[in-house]
Amino acid sequence: MSKLLKNFRTYVIITIGLFINALGWTAFLIPAEITGGGITGVATLIFYATEIPVWIPYLIINFVLILLSIKILGKNFGIKTIYSTVVLTLFFSVLQGIIKEPIVNENFMSSVLGGIMAGVGVGIVFSQGGSTGGTDIIAMVINKYRNISPGKVILYADVIIISSSFLIFRSIEKIVYGYVTMAVTAYAIDLLLTGAKRTIQLFIFSKMHDAIAEKISTEINRGITLIDGTGWYTKQNSKILMVLVKKQESNNLLRIIKEIDPDAFISVNNVMGVYGKGFDRIKG
C-alpha cells in the first residue's frame, strides 16, 4: 500500500511539473513567438509556419521517437516518459486553446519568465525520475552507437532548433530571445535539481571546540571531524572542526557557533558533491 501511495505521489508531482512547463510555453513563449529548444521547440516552429496547434506535432514526433527508442533501447524504456508525453500533450491542447495573447508585452520578459517556468517544470519531472522525451530520446539513441555525450547532443539540437526560427521570422532578435530562453531554462533545471542538495563545508577554529561539536551533534545531527592543527605564527597546537551540512542547515549551525564562541574563526566553502550517509547516494 505504501508503495502504491508513493507511486501516486510521484505521478502527482510529475503532473504538476508538466503543467508548469506547459504554462510557461503557452502563456509566455508561444504568444510572443519565441522558440525554445527540444521537440516542443520544433512543434512551436511548425505552429508558427502552419498554425497547426502545438500539441499535434508534439504528440506525433514524440510517438515516433518513443517507438524508435523501444525498438533500439529496449521494451523497458520508461513508462514515465510515455506518461509525461501524453499529459503534456493534453496540457498543450487545453492551455493553447485558452491563452491567445501574451501575458506580458515585452519579449525579453516573456523569454525569461517562460524559460523559468519551462525549466522548473522539467526540473520537477527530472527530480521524480521522469523525462519529457523528445531530444532526450535522440541523445540516448545516438549515445548508444557513438561516443557522444547526451548533453552535447541536446545542446546541439537546441541550437539548431532555435536558429531555425530565422527561416520563419527572418529576425536575429527572435533567435537571441530563443537563446535567452534556452539559457534560463537550463539554469532553472540545474538550480531546482541541485539547490536543495547543495552542501557546504565548514572549518571551525575555536578553543571551545568540544562544546561546539557536542551541540552540533545533538541539535543538527551531523557528524564532525576533529583535526589536529598548529598555528604557524603562534606555534601553538589547536583543534579544528570540519563539518559538512546541507545549505539550509548552515544558518542554524552558525547560530550555534556564535552562541558558544562569538570569536570563533570559520571558513565556509561550497562543495560540488558529497556522497555517503546523510547525503547523496553514489549511482551506477
Q: Within this chain, do residues 182 and 216 fall inside the same structural domain, yes or no?
A: no
- CA distances 250 to 48, 109, 192, 247, 266, Å, are 48, 33, 19, 5, 12
pLDDT at 246: 81
Cell numbers describing residue 65:
521517437
pLDDT at 78: 66
Last residue of a domain, one of 195, 213, 233: 195
- 20 within some domain: yes
Q: Within this chain, do residues 184 and 210 fall inside the same structural domain, yes or no?
A: no
Q: Within this chain, do residues 130 and 164 fall inside the same structural domain, yes or no?
A: yes
pLDDT at 143: 66
Last residue of a domain, one of 146, 166, 195: 195
- Quote the number of domains for the chain: 2
Could you read off the pLDDT tens digit of each residue along the chain, which spans 284 residues? 567 777 888 889 999 999 999 999 999 999 999 999 889 999 999 999 999 999 999 999 988 888 877 777 666 556 778 888 899 999 999 999 898 887 888 899 999 999 999 999 988 888 777 777 777 777 767 766 776 666 677 788 889 999 999 999 999 999 999 999 999 998 888 777 766 567 888 999 998 989 999 888 888 888 898 998 888 888 888 889 999 888 778 888 888 898 899 889 999 888 766 666 666 665 54
- 102 within some domain: yes
Q: Within this chain, do residues 23 and 107 fall inside the same structural domain, yes or no?
A: yes
Helices 209-219, 250-260: inter-axial angle, 10-degree rounding: 140
Q: Within this chain, do residues 231 and 185 fall inside the same structural domain, yes or no?
A: no
Residue 149: HSE in the Cβ half-sphere, 13 Å Cα cutoff = 3
Helices 135-145, 55-73: inter-axial angle, 10-degree rounding: 30
Domain encompassing residue 88: 2-195
Q: Within this chain, do residues 210 and 185 fall inside the same structural domain, yes or no?
A: no
Name the nearest CA neighbour of 115 among 203, 179, 198, 47: 179
Question: Residue 240 belongs to a domain with what CATH number?
Answer: 3.30.70.120
Question: In degrees rounded to 5, what are phi and psi of residue 218?
Answer: -85, -35
- 281 within some domain: no
pLDDT at 284: 46
Strand partners, 273: none
Q: Within this chain, do residues 209 and 191 fall inside the same structural domain, yes or no?
A: no
Give CA–CA dist 102/26, Å, rounded.
Answer: 9
* pTM to 2 decimal places: 0.71
Quick check: 74 and 147 in contact, CB under 8 A?
no
CA-derived radius of gyration, the chain: 24
Q: Within this chain, do residues 75 and 35 fall inside the same structural domain, yes or no?
A: yes
Residue 170 identity (one-letter amino acid): R
pLDDT at 277: 64
- 34 within some domain: yes
Q: Within this chain, do residues 231 and 147 fall inside the same structural domain, yes or no?
A: no
Q: Within this chain, do residues 78 and 13 fall inside the same structural domain, yes or no?
A: yes
pLDDT at 276: 64
